[in-house]
Structure 1
């Protein structure tokens, strides 16, 4: 019945202020305190700015909607189009205010956006007042609810709630479900309530203070968290003693003399794993596997560990000053191999694995980092400090093996194949103590809640309770989140940061993986520095205040391919990223601790021993008997899930889907293609959706750990989709091309001119991706586009035809990428995320263009090589990936260094690319001239003016020598 609905075109199907949204998203990623992402770690969250803008534009009618409904297929006059542009400019202004971080809970800004949503909703209801299901679907006094079936970290449901919609979130992963409950379900349930703890209730200003939103709930989290910290200090404080600066220490370290007899709070204990020396003479000695001895690399505050060898033993001392070169590598020789500190014998990775699996891997304390007077004090390890750590005897430990995933989880290869193995005994004692205290504090909270007049009933959170028991359970959830923060910085996979930063300890999940570490930093959960419990409480409490409690929320566990929760709801979702992040495998790290304290609160959610994995939509070869089977599982499952969304979504609004796969390539009969983008797009089209827009968003932090190490995922494409009518017809390739030629010129004009008075055009690097929207909208609205032989046209072919409109038909995919990148940046550096977005649109990848030898891409930075940087020993005959861009710039290099004759030989060697090379030179000359890049324009002009002479030289070049020209 969806085809009977009169659905106004929404703003997101026509135009967006992309630049403003992307800038706000980039800024937001650097905000750590008070951001919902600090409530609990989750991987690949969407920035709130992007989620808010997308949902708003998904709900608001485009100014063109009424005219287009009344004049289907007609071209609007210019005065009408000008009126639309002015109206869009007003909506853009709302979005630009809406996405600013400081306006996250600005009621005036939010109310302006909500009013616009309500206005559009009333227009939609009026339009459909005679619909058979109008009473169900089009109540002008009640906005439709929102649903995200892949809720993950909860950014989308939270922002829907902030915009005034009831928010529903579902996910297969119980950790994600609990995060969503804490973000959208609990705060509205207890909104506006004062805290129940006696300290706050007895405060002198409690009678006059107004507790709005989740403020009272957050205050209780702080107060009861403080009680837990004090209780933990009584029970396990002996395991975390201060370090005393002795006179003996000061003799070796004059900088410690002013601190003699002082007892300093420990920030971290720095440990190295050990194995038995492979040298038979020292087989009885455990030698350290340290990847670095550097404690501080900051200029003027440098410090490092030095091992002192005494026959068949060694000890560590701490030195102040610039570390020697070797200290930076510790005992490491190479990837996974080390050197014995006693004999210098190499310790191979295979030897370490054998020792580890035999249970002969141990630990040795190298140094202690303590808190001085506004500085860090680096103290040598002592037998006393090491002995105290070894006295810890945990009475419980997680017992859950993790997947032997060599890409994301590597400790298993070294004998650490159980989550309980990732913690020292002292860390286990601390985590179990705090976990037990959560159960104890719940009873205390419940008693205090009854004393503050909450209903004294026995109805828990999972049963929908709102009384004393339910309230105590809600506070306990947030306390458990703080404990998970301690675990994240309190495992043996956490590393010491020598830079030094504010945090000091690099957390376990600095990237979405559990990699093996050799030296690690043990945090002090009872201290004041990184990894302490009260610090986690503070982050959680601040994050709670960002929740918006004006609308109800509900989160539950459900499979996206089978759920029914999305029926007749507005849908925006961020599905899993193919094989980029194994969410279930990673989240078991937190699940084992949450289950210990939360099972009595959410018994169904934590009923299983581990996070469910069999139905998780991730292409994991380990679970599905190989790469091909894993890919088929993912694509079939995702198609089913998309089909379900297509059937369920509220008929008045498009569905928005975030696509954020890391780009990959494959060779096909039609050349190199970007498999992830094209395959996912094909799955969406096959599911019954027609696409009405594609918008590139900068959704990842370029400076994050993984982005610094590699060119990882850094952007998303938002797909705007509507169900394709069951009556959709098939058309021929010729008819498809004719319609493209009608639609794309106007779309290109709109995108390059910008909308409204601000004239904010789509940036050149985003233009190709944005242009796919109106192009693929034509393709996907039909049941099929038929080739001359009657076979359906592929998505890959449709994308190539859309790109042809941008006058790039004679250029290969790599050259198309380079051309548009150059138009935006010239030879300057740009962010990997933007390059990744552009490469997808052009059917290539950043890594592929890099392999062609025309691009620098490292550390999240991308730039094109200038002609002078190209290799002088280039051989066209041996160049397996030779884009036109490379041919032209090699030609310029040779022409400028060796003249027309050698340039002619080069041109002869690339005879098949002569005409597109000449066309590219013309195009680049024109581009540089318009941009005022005189020097660059001169290089292209010289080639163009000398082209005839170069061609003559090419004709005269001996063909037999062509393969030897550039060796």
Structure 2
């Protein structure tokens, strides 16, 4: 006998306060201090707010679950619907508190959420108490474990742990595994312990340990600071001579009033600014190394612009620093660059240097570097000084004993330095940078013994068991602190390499990973690792320690493992939420080698299994990379097969009482099509999920991608995520015809649209208009994916691509009146511009109306063979709806906008009260037009429709209070 699991419907399968979640996810992107994302860089990390809300909502029962379990085919009465709406509003309130960054450590808020999860779990256990596996599957005193099989940057398992679950995280990538260990495994192991290292006295990181109660991760974080400060001081003793201060001379100050007060002073150098060089291709100057500088601008601050000016004398040149207006420095912006790519001009002869010549010189080992300027800290701000032979000589004479020799992949899409002879990861560091990084690597090994000795002295267990063997004593603690010291060094490499640019607006060094690639850079900034600024190990360490301070240190230890999602069994009977790779967007493994080569050097003895390989494993990585697989077709087939297998394991293993949630990140180009949200990656991913045996029960669009330089302006950037809510499809699922599928869509989607746009009577709609076209995919794909197949007329199964087109078409075919349908389609084609009468005539006939009829309704101007829609400002102020014999919804909406903009919510409420029968369809039209305008980039129009939508509840309230449908002054402009 087969016992069916009784699984209550979860909140995430019915409703979410999506707008509130997205608002907090967007706000979180600007938070840096103490945010877990600052522990170590990872690509496309989920916002904590989104992850926390999704996990909570997939574990909490929706208020409708009891009725729907007992009456699956019956329509619930209105009083029950009202009761559910009230209960959902209470759950929405918990979510809205939960997602706020300020509440991420608020135990009162977290306990309320944990209690709600526990209550829902006890309800589920009670339902299944007679199940033969109840003791294993349904223990009311023990929540199921949680697993993320594509853990990446660790945001999802971290939030599961914060919500009281035992979090399991796995990933194939060892850098991701290390990040997750540092976030969810190590902190609980060593929580609530006092630091063991000697307190920092005098300079360096402040120490506040007198009488302090070291709660949570505070003691661990303080030891990271203490031993990191020792390392920094020791490194300065060993290699400080490579980073000398610079003395301001009279010669430097000549013509520079800003330097006059600094003459004779020795200033700390913040950065050295270099340009790569090649021999001039002009025979007359073949012996001269000429600069390949994309820009000579140093500071673009208004009123204090600073730039490099090359001064040529015979067959030699030097760089001088000028200070003046932005206009004076305008020519400096382009440096010696002629056009995109490796195209420059010779500084000496002004003749072009073609890219082929630069390729040849660089790959022959003849590309060098020339110091252009020195940036120093004056005490009153940063000053720019000309290069000196001494400063340049110190840098060029540095002789490192080791550098990483792992080759960069030959994939110009993500890696362009190999085209110019920089073939290994070690080649993209200057000799001085390599010495500094090697010194810190050595010091991490040295300091580990010191930490273990201090821990034993402080009374910690001396059992000799290392962290990798499950130890919790002094040896394991030394390993744990070493991990964070190595992570800080790994963070430092991102801003301590020869591909870091100088930011002229903020006058600072910017890190390499401004986007998901390692691009070539011609002029670069080399920072001072002892400069007390970005690029200093102490600064990197301090920022990381702030994040460590805020990590949850619950008694429920996280468990992290290196595992392939296609073969793992960790998900067995666990709640699963995960963020898989995005088709071909990001080459995680290739990019991770940049960090891996340094982490392996420092942590191979601490985490021997994790860093056993020379580089990050790549063969099994689920990314569709044509360069690795030979063609686009083979890459897609690899992705499809692997992702289907990974999803199949989740469908089989995940705890049967909970839906599985899966993030899919859209690229911007995937949301720009006229037919809606379609793309190769999206369709391929959905196909894999459905083929794996999952049925979708919901999809929720979330703005989870960082809107900063990691995306990259003008690139095919990640725009937003869809969270897919999935349950295993029954093995005996039926098949239906295309006609039956469309009929069911027409039954399901209107109610779903209403749920998404109206919500629970709150002041704000739960789904913002911009997200609607993606959100509607959820209920549509729920219909499609619950069947074994939807059969076309020829008997072949319908494709995901076809299903998406049918679902996307829904928003464009709402049941508007014929005049409104004409206006909607005309607006899509022409906006507010003019079109030909013949085109308008054809379109009106297709919609069952006429140009003259639409003109009579007062929404178009049609004269002299041209037709255009009237804007809301053109509508008459003396309009009276009760005497308007032809009143399309289009006219109602735009009159509503006109009055709202002149008389606010009260005036708009009286308009709505006068046309109450058309209120709901007017709201739907506003949503449709907002989505259309947002996609088309019509910001002003989109704003007008969005104002109506976001104020709809207030307008409805005003309509209900209106004394009557008409007031004498209602439409006075």
Q: Same fold (TM over 0.5)?
A: yes
More divergent stretch after superposition (226-235 vs 705-714): 705-714
Contact 1:13 1:693 in 2 (8 A): yes
Residue of structure 2 equivalent to 1:773: 778
Residues 1:382 and 1:902: Cα distance change in structure 2 (over 3 Å):
farther
More divergent stretch after superposition (765-774 vs 590-599): 765-774
Residue of structure 1 equivalent to 2:306: 303
Contact 1:485 1:531 in 2 (8 A): no
Contact 2:677 2:808 in 1 (8 A): no
Contact 1:270 1:368 in 2 (8 A): yes
* C-alpha distance in 2 between matches for 1:570 and 1:105: 23
Residues 1:905 and 1:575: Cα distance change in structure 2 (over 3 Å):
closer
Match of 1:537 among 541, 553, 572: 541
Cα distance, 1:547 vs structure 2: 1.4
* C-alpha distance in 2 between matches for 1:279 and 1:333: 16
Cα distance, 1:585 vs structure 2: 0.7
* C-alpha distance in 2 between matches for 1:583 and 1:764: 33
Residues 1:672 and 1:227: Cα distance change in structure 2 (over 3 Å):
closer
* C-alpha distance in 1 between matches for 2:757 and 2:40: 41
Residue of structure 2 equivalent to 1:16: 16
SS of residue matched to 1:252: coil
1:62 aligns with 2:62: yes
Residue of structure 1 equivalent to 2:154: 154
* C-alpha distance in 2 between matches for 1:146 and 1:514: 34
Residue of structure 1 equivalent to 2:254: 251
Map 1:521-600 → 2, pairs under 5 A: 521-550=525-554, 551-600=556-605
Residue of structure 2 equivalent to 1:445: 451
Map 1:859-870 → 2, pairs under 5 A: 867=833
Cα distance, 1:160 vs structure 2: 0.2
Contact 1:200 1:206 in 2 (8 A): no
* C-alpha distance in 1 between matches for 2:505 and 2:139: 58
Map 1:314-329 → 2, pairs under 5 A: 314-322=317-325, 323-329=328-334
Residues 1:295 and 1:457: Cα distance change in structure 2 (over 3 Å):
same
Contact 1:402 1:418 in 2 (8 A): yes
Unpaired runs of at least 5, structure 2: 840-846, 870-886, 903-973
* C-alpha distance in 2 between matches for 1:161 and 1:672: 34
Cα distance, 1:206 vs structure 2: 4.4
Map 1:674-685 → 2, pairs under 5 A: 674-685=679-690
SS of residue matched to 2:626: coil
Contact 1:13 1:720 in 2 (8 A): yes
* C-alpha distance in 2 between matches for 1:922 and 1:702: 40
Match of 2:367 among 357, 361, 370: 361
Residue of structure 2 equivalent to 1:963: none
* C-alpha distance in 2 between matches for 1:417 and 1:671: 42
* C-alpha distance in 2 between matches for 1:567 and 1:2: 19
More divergent stretch after superposition (141-150 vs 543-552): 543-552
Deviation readout 1:934-955 (Å, 9 max, x if unpaired): 999xxxxxxxxxxxxxxxxxxx
Cα distance, 1:748 vs structure 2: 2.2
Residue of structure 2 equivalent to 1:213: 216
Residue of structure 2 equivalent to 1:725: 730
| Structure 1: 4+ residue segments shifted above 6 A | 200-205, 665-668, 818-822, 896-899, 933-936
Residues 1:394 and 1:364: Cα distance change in structure 2 (over 3 Å):
same
Residue of structure 2 equivalent to 1:180: 180
Residues 1:580 and 1:803: Cα distance change in structure 2 (over 3 Å):
closer
Contact 1:15 1:755 in 2 (8 A): no
* C-alpha distance in 2 between matches for 1:750 and 1:183: 37
Residue of structure 2 equivalent to 1:234: 237
Contact 1:665 1:672 in 2 (8 A): yes
Contact 1:663 1:676 in 2 (8 A): no
* C-alpha distance in 2 between matches for 1:628 and 1:108: 52
1:621 aligns with 2:621: no
Map 1:172-571 → 2, pairs under 5 A: 172-199=172-199, 206=209, 208-322=211-325, 323-335=328-340, 336-500=342-506, 504-550=508-554, 551-571=556-576
Cα distance, 1:775 vs structure 2: 2.0
Deviation readout 1:758-798 (Å, 9 max, x if unpaired): 45342222223222222221221111122233222222332
Contact 2:625 2:632 in 1 (8 A): yes
Deviation readout 1:440-489 (Å, 9 max, x if unpaired): 00010000010111111221111111111111111111111111122110
SS of residue matched to 1:747: helix
Residues 1:641 and 1:897: Cα distance change in structure 2 (over 3 Å):
closer
Cα distance, 1:3 vs structure 2: 7.6
Match of 1:929 among 876, 880, 895: 895
SS of residue matched to 2:30: coil
Map 1:644-793 → 2, pairs under 5 A: 644-662=649-667, 673-704=678-709, 706-710=711-715, 712-758=717-763, 760-793=765-798
Deviation readout 1:226-278 (Å, 9 max, x if unpaired): 00000000000000001110111112322211001111111110000000001
Match of 1:796 among 774, 794, 801: 801
SS of residue matched to 1:741: helix
Cα distance, 1:415 vs structure 2: 0.6
Residue of structure 1 equivalent to 2:866: 903
* C-alpha distance in 1 between matches for 2:246 and 2:738: 77
Cα distance, 1:746 vs structure 2: 2.3
* C-alpha distance in 2 between matches for 1:325 and 1:680: 48
CA RMSD of aligned residues (A): 3.2
SS of residue matched to 2:199: helix
Cα distance, 1:122 vs structure 2: 0.5
Contact 1:494 1:520 in 2 (8 A): yes
Contact 2:462 2:474 in 1 (8 A): yes
Contact 2:733 2:788 in 1 (8 A): yes
* C-alpha distance in 1 between matches for 2:826 and 2:692: 33
More divergent stretch after superposition (478-487 vs 508-517): 478-487
Deviation readout 1:337-360 (Å, 9 max, x if unpaired): 111111101111111000000100
Cα distance, 1:516 vs structure 2: 0.2
* C-alpha distance in 2 between matches for 1:146 and 1:163: 11
Residue of structure 2 equivalent to 1:826: none
Contact 2:861 2:868 in 1 (8 A): no
Deviation readout 1:149-193 (Å, 9 max, x if unpaired): 000000000000000000111001000000000000000010111
* C-alpha distance in 2 between matches for 1:312 and 1:445: 57
Cα distance, 1:62 vs structure 2: 0.4
Contact 1:765 1:820 in 2 (8 A): no
Number of residue pairs aligned between Structure 1 and Structure 2: 860
